[in-house]
Amino acid sequence: MDLECSRLLPALCAVLVDPRQPVADDTCLEKLLDWFKTVTEGESSLLLLQEHPCLVELLSHVLKLQDLSPGVLSFSLRVAGIFAAQENCFQYLQVGSLLFSQPGGAPGLRLLSAPPFFLSSPAPCPGAVDTIFSLQGDSSLFVASAASQLLVHILALSMRGGAKEQPCLQGDDWPTCAQKIMGHVEESLCSTVTPKVTQALNILTTTFGRCQSPWTEALWVRLSASVACLLERDPIPAAHSLVDLLLCVARSPVFGSSNGSLWEMVAQALSCLGPAHVGPLALGILKLEHCPQALRTQAFQVLLQPLACVLKATVQAPGPLGLLDGMADDAMMVDALLASKSSCAGLLCRTLAHLEELQPLPQRPSPWPQAPLLGAAVTVLRLCDGSATPVSSVGGHLCATLAGCVRVQRAALDFLGMLSQGTSPQELVTQALAVLLECLKSPGSSPTVLKKAFQATLRWLLSSPKTSSCSDLGPHIPQFLRELFLVLQKRLCSPCWEVRDSALEFLTQLSRHWGGEADFRCALLASEVPELAWQLLQDPESYVRASAVTATGQLSSWGLHDPTSPQHAVARQSLLRELLRILSADSEGFPRRAVMQVFTEWLRDGHADVTRDTEQFVATVLQVASRDLDWEVRVQGLELALVFLGQTLGPPHTHCPYAVALPEAAPARPLTEALRALCHVGLFDFAFRALFDCDRPVAQKSCDLLLFLRDKIASYNSLREASPNTDSVEAAPWRWRAHEQTQPQEDQEPEAVLAMLRSLDLEGLQSTLAESSDHVEKSPQSLLQDMLATGGFLQGDEADCY
C-alpha cells in the first residue's frame, strides 16, 4: 500500500462506520474491495492489519452498530474474509465468533470460503453448518447459492483434513462435519419437495466438479442409490439438475471407464427422462472421451429420434435412407412433437442445435449419418415453408405445426450450414441448394431467416469442391448462381434494411472468395446486381450504405463493374468520386468508415484507380479524413497513411529476434524525394494534428506512425542533421496541439518536419497513451479521495447518469 493511501485509510474507515456519512455509490465499495484483494495478494495481510489498526477497528465497530447500511456491513464482512483467509490473520482477528452473528448475509458466508484452519477443530462453530443448511432455502438466490457453495467448500476441506487414508465407504470414519453434510444431502435426496432435491443435487454437482480426490468416489458409492431412486419417481424431480450431476460424475477422472453402475444409471436416465432433458444428457455423453460404446449408441439414437420421426412422417417408402431405420419411434418423443406448437418447435430446435454442436467434434459418432441428417434438415425446412408432403397423420400434423415457424427455420438453417462441411451425395447437395434458394425466394421469409439462409448458402458455395480447371465451379454451380443472382436482385430491393444489408454482406463475401472465378463473374455481370449495389450507396439507412460501400469496393477490386455502363473506365472513376463524396458528405460514421477501409485496401492492393496518381489520391483522402468528426475514420486515415509510408519508405522492420535478417530492400526512392512526397500529400500535417487528438486511439495510432517514420529515417545514415530554424521547429507541434494550425501547410520542408519529429518525445507520449484514459481517476488513491470527498453530496441521484 502506498503512503498516500495509508494516510487516507483511517479517515475513510471513520467515514464507513459513521452512519451519518453516506458512501458515494455502490460501485465504490466494490472497487475498494478489489483494491484490498490486490493489496493482500502483494504483501503480508498480517503486517497490513498491524500497520493499519483502523481496519481492525472498522471490523469490530461494524458488528456493534445497529443502523449500519447493509452495503457497508456486507463490505466489512467481505474485507474480514479477505484477511481471514490467511491463518495468522485469522487468529489475529479472532473472527470465529463473529462469523455467524449476522444472519442471512451472503457476503458473510463468502467470508468462510477460504480458511482450512477454520475447520481444523472437530466442531468449529456449533450450529454453523445448520445455519448454512437453513440458508440454502433463503429467498435470495444469491444467499442460497452462496450457502450451497459454502457447504461444498466445508465438505471438501473437512475431507481433505480428516480422512488421510482411503476413506471407508460407509463414512464411519469421516469427519463429523462431513458426516453431517452427507446426512443432510441424503435426507434431501429422499425428500418429496423438489427444491430440496435440487439443492442436494447441486451440492453434489459442485462437489464432483471441483474435487477430484479419491474420497469423492466413496461419496458417490454412498449416494448413488439415493440418486438412482430419483429416476424411479414419476415425474422425475429436478431432472435438469440430475442431468448435470450425472454428466459431472461421468466427466470426473476419479471414476474409471469401468464404473458399471454409473453407466447403468446413465442408460436408465436416457430411457426414462423426458424429451426436454434427455437431449442435453445424450449430447453430454457423446462428448465424453471415455464411455462404453453401447451407451454412446443409445445416446446417439436418443439424439436422432426427433429427426427420425420427422423423416419417417414425410418420406415415401421406399425413399432415401432414413435415420434409425427399423427402430420403433419413441412414444414420448412423438408425443412431444405433437403436443403443441411450442413443444414441437422447442424439441426440434434443441435437437438441431445439439447435432450442430456435435458435428465438428472429433469424438462425434462414427459413422456419421451425413446423408440422412442432410435429408432431415432439408425436410424440416420444407415443413417450415409448407412444401413438404406428409405421408402419415403425424406428418400432416407436423406440416400444420411447423408451417412458418421462424424459430425452427433458423435452427435448421444453422444446422444445414454446418452440414456443408461433410461429404454428401450430389443429389442431396442439389436438394440442399434448392431448399436454400427456395427460402431466399420465399416472400414470407423473415429478415433473420434470410440472413441465416444467406450464411448457409455461402457456406455451401464456398465448400463446394472446385474442379481441376480453376475457372470452373462444378457442374451445378453456374445454373445455381444464375438463379441466386435473380433472388439477390430482389433482396437488394427489399423494403427491410436488414435484408438489403444481409444481401450486400453476402455479395461482398462471395465476391471476395470467387471474384476471380469465370463462372461467378459471368453470372454476376449478366445480372443487375452490380448496378443495384451501386444504387444502394444512396440508401437511406446508414448501415446499408456502409455495406454497399464495402460491396462495390470489393467488386471494383475484381474489375466487376456494371457492364451496361457505356464506358467501363468512366464507371470505375465515378465510383472513386462517389466514395469520396460519401467520405466528405455522409452524415453517418458507418459509411465513411467503410470508405476508408475500401481505400486502404485499394492502396494496399494497388487498385488501378489509385495507382494512376497515388499521391493525389492519398492527399485527397487524408485531407478529408483529417477533418472527420468520427474517431474511427481518423484512425483509418492513419492506417492508410501507414500503408502509404510503407510503400514510400519500405516496409516496417521485423523486430523478431529469431527472424533471418534479410538484406534491407533498397528504398523505393531517395529519402529527400520520399519525404517531399509525404509532405506533399499532407501526411505530416495529418499525423501531427492527430497526435493531439482528443480521442486516445487516434493519438496512439499517430504516435505509432511517427515512431515508425522516425525509425525508418534513422536508417538513412546519409541524412544530415539539419535544423533550419530551431525556434519555429520547437513551436510547431504546440501549434497543432492548440489547433492553431487549421490550414494544412503545403510548403513544409522535409528538413523542418524531421527536426520537429526529433524534438518530440514520442516514446514518452507513447507510454502515456498506452495507459487507460481514466488511469488517474481509477487509481486506489483517487478512489479513496473520492469516497472521502463524497460525504453528504448527491445522495440518491445515481439514476441521473442515464
Partner 1 sequence: MPEIRVTPLGAGQDVGRSCILVSIAGKNVMLDCGMHMGFNDDRRFPDFSYITQNGRLTDFLDCVIISHFHLDHCGALPYFSEMVGYDGPIYMTHPTQAICPILLEDYRKIAVDKKGEANFFTSQMIKDCMKKVVAVHLHQTVQVDDELEIKAYYAGHVLGAAMFQIKVGSESVVYTGDYNMTPDRHLGAAWIDKCRPNLLITESTYATTIRDSKRCRERDFLKKVHETVERGGKVLIPVFALGRAQELCILLETFWERMNLKVPIYFSTGLTEKANHYYKLFIPWTNQKIRKTFVQRNMFEFKHIKAFDRAFADNPGPMVVFATPGMLHAGQSLQIFRKWAGNEKNMVIMPGYCVQGTVGHKILSGQRKLEMEGRQVLEVKMQVEYMSFSAHADAKGIMQLVGQAEPESVLLVHGEAKKMEFLKQKIEQELRRQLAWAACTETPQHPCRHLAGAAEAGDGLLPEAKKPRLLHGTLIMKDSNFRLVSSEQALKELGLAEHQLRFTCRVHLHDTRKEQETALRVYSHLKSILKDHCVQHLPDGSVTVESILIQAAAPSEDPGTKVLLVSWTYQDEELGSFLTSLLKKGLPQALS
Touching partner 1, residues 588-607 (CB under 8 A)? 588-590, 593
Q: Which is nearer to partner 1, 116 or 346 (CB)?
A: 346
- For 727-736, the CB contacts below 8 A with 24+ separation are 728/752, 729/755, 729/756, 729/759, 730/759, 732/688, 732/756, 733/688, 733/691, 733/692, 733/759, 733/760, 736/688, 736/689, 736/691, 736/692
**Part in contact with partner 1 (CB under 8 A); list of ranges 224-232, 577-585, 750-758, 786-794:** 786-794
C-alpha cell, 71: 452495503
Does the protein bind partner 1 through residue 67 (CB under 8 A)? no
Q: Which is nearer to partner 1, 33 or 580 (CB)?
A: 33
Shortest reach from residue 791's CB to partner 1, in Å: 8
**CB count in 10 Å sphere of residue 523:** 23
Does the protein bind partner 1 through residue 427 (CB under 8 A)? no
- Which one of 28, 39, 236, 518 is in contact with partner 1 (CB under 8 A)? 28
Shortest reach from residue 683's CB to partner 1, in Å: 20
Q: Which is nearer to partner 1, 623 or 768 (CB)?
A: 768
- Which one of 697, 707, 716, 735 is in contact with partner 1 (CB under 8 A)? 697
Show contacts with partner 1 in window 385-424 (CB under 8 A). 407, 410-411
Does the protein bind partner 1 through residue 800 (CB under 8 A)? yes
Q: Which is nearer to partner 1, 356 or 562 (CB)?
A: 356
Does the protein bind partner 1 through residue 696 (CB under 8 A)? yes
Shortest reach from residue 792's CB to partner 1, in Å: 10
- Which one of 116, 280, 478, 667 is in contact with partner 1 (CB under 8 A)? 280
Does the protein bind partner 1 through residue 233 (CB under 8 A)? no
Does the protein bind partner 1 through residue 801 (CB under 8 A)? yes
Shortest reach from residue 721's CB to partner 1, in Å: 29
Q: Which is nearer to partner 1, 614 or 766 (CB)?
A: 766
**Part in contact with partner 1 (CB under 8 A); list of ranges 219-227, 464-472, 496-504, 669-677:** 496-504
- Which one of 438, 483, 601, 695 is in contact with partner 1 (CB under 8 A)? 695
The residue type of 537 is L
The residue type of 570 is V
Alpha-carbon gap, residue 193 to 376, rounded angstroms: 41
Residues 6+ away with beta carbon under 8 Å from 292:
257, 263
Q: What is the DSSP string of 150-213?
A: HHHHHHHHHHHHH--SSPPTT-TTS-HHHHHHHHHHHHHHT-S-HHHHHHHHHHHHHHHHH--S
CA neighbor of 270 nearest in space, from 307, 305, 221, 310? 305
* Helix/strand/coil for 338: helix
Alpha-carbon gap, residue 56 to 438, rounded angstroms: 72
Per-residue contact string for residues 525-544; x = within reach of partner 1 by CB under 8 A: ------------------x-
Number of residues that bind partner 1 (CB under 8 A): 74
**Part in contact with partner 1 (CB under 8 A); list of ranges 114-122, 231-239, 720-728, 779-787:** 779-787
Shortest reach from residue 277's CB to partner 1, in Å: 9
C-alpha cell, 134: 437453513
Q: Which is nearer to partner 1, 3 or 801 (CB)?
A: 801
Show contacts with partner 1 in window 466-495 (CB under 8 A). none
- Which one of 22, 31, 476, 490 is in contact with partner 1 (CB under 8 A)? 31
> In this structure, are residues 46 and 88 in contact, taking their beta carbons and an 8 Å threshold?
yes
C-alpha cell, 171: 463414512
* Helix/strand/coil for 697: helix
* Helix/strand/coil for 111: helix
Shortest reach from residue 138's CB to partner 1, in Å: 9
Show contacts with partner 1 in window 748-777 (CB under 8 A). 768, 770-777
**CB count in 10 Å sphere of residue 743:** 7
Does the protein bind partner 1 through residue 786 (CB under 8 A)? yes
Alpha-carbon gap, residue 622 to 643, rounded angstroms: 12
Shortest reach from residue 772's CB to partner 1, in Å: 4
Alpha-carbon gap, residue 150 to 105, rounded angstroms: 13
- Compute the residue count for the chain: 802
- Which one of 44, 342, 726, 728 is in contact with partner 1 (CB under 8 A)? 342
Does the protein bind partner 1 through residue 451 (CB under 8 A)? yes
**Part in contact with partner 1 (CB under 8 A); list of ranges 113-121, 327-335, 515-523, 694-702:** 694-702
- Which one of 296, 341, 441, 482 is in contact with partner 1 (CB under 8 A)? 341
> In this structure, are residues 565 and 519 in contact, taking their beta carbons and an 8 Å threshold?
no
Per-residue contact string for residues 564-593; x = within reach of partner 1 by CB under 8 A: -----------------------xxxx--x
CA 612 and chain centroid, separation:
42
Does the protein bind partner 1 through residue 665 (CB under 8 A)? no
Burial (CB count within 10 angstroms: exposed 0-12, middle 13-18, buried 19+), residue 785:
middle
Burial (CB count within 10 angstroms: exposed 0-12, middle 13-18, buried 19+), residue 53:
exposed
**Part in contact with partner 1 (CB under 8 A); list of ranges 83-91, 525-533, 557-565, 737-745:** 737-745
User: Phi/psi of residue 119, each to 5°?
Assistant: -100, 5
**Part in contact with partner 1 (CB under 8 A); list of ranges 18-26, 225-233, 313-321, 671-679:** 18-26
Q: Which is nearer to partner 1, 259 or 351 (CB)?
A: 351
Report cis status (omega within 30 of 0) of the bond before 107: no
- Which one of 385, 501, 539, 751 is in contact with partner 1 (CB under 8 A)? 501
Shortest reach from residue 30's CB to partner 1, in Å: 7
Q: What is the DSSP string of 206-219?
A: HHHHH--STHHHHH
Q: What is the largest CA-CA distance in the chain?
A: 94
CA 123 and chain centroid, separation:
46
Q: Which is nearer to partner 1, 171 or 275 (CB)?
A: 275
Does the protein bind partner 1 through residue 350 (CB under 8 A)? yes
> In this structure, are residues 374 and 381 in contact, taking their beta carbons and an 8 Å threshold?
no
Q: Which is nearer to partner 1, 240 or 513 (CB)?
A: 240
Does the protein bind partner 1 through residue 24 (CB under 8 A)? yes
Alpha-carbon gap, residue 369 to 373, rounded angstroms: 6
- Which one of 443, 666, 738, 747 is in contact with partner 1 (CB under 8 A)? 738
Does the protein bind partner 1 through residue 41 (CB under 8 A)? no
Q: Which is nearer to partner 1, 229 or 731 (CB)?
A: 731
CA neighbor of 698 nearest in space, from 708, 684, 688? 688
**Part in contact with partner 1 (CB under 8 A); list of ranges 9-17, 22-30, 360-368, 383-391:** 22-30
C-alpha cell, 313: 412422417
Q: Which is nearer to partner 1, 519 or 628 (CB)?
A: 628
Q: Which is nearer to partner 1, 666 or 789 (CB)?
A: 789
C-alpha cell, 618: 492519398
> In this structure, are residues 74 and 23 in contact, taking their beta carbons and an 8 Å threshold?
no
- Which one of 659, 694, 720, 747 is in contact with partner 1 (CB under 8 A)? 694
**Part in contact with partner 1 (CB under 8 A); list of ranges 211-219, 337-345, 430-438, 468-476:** 337-345
Alpha-carbon gap, residue 717 to 80, rounded angstroms: 63
Does the protein bind partner 1 through residue 7 (CB under 8 A)? no
Shortest reach from residue 67's CB to partner 1, in Å: 11
Shortest reach from residue 232's CB to partner 1, in Å: 24
Show contacts with partner 1 in window 111-150 (CB under 8 A). 139-142
> In this structure, are residues 720 and 709 in contact, taking their beta carbons and an 8 Å threshold?
no
User: Phi/psi of residue 320, each to 5°?
Assistant: -65, 175
> In this structure, are residues 242 and 236 in contact, taking their beta carbons and an 8 Å threshold?
yes
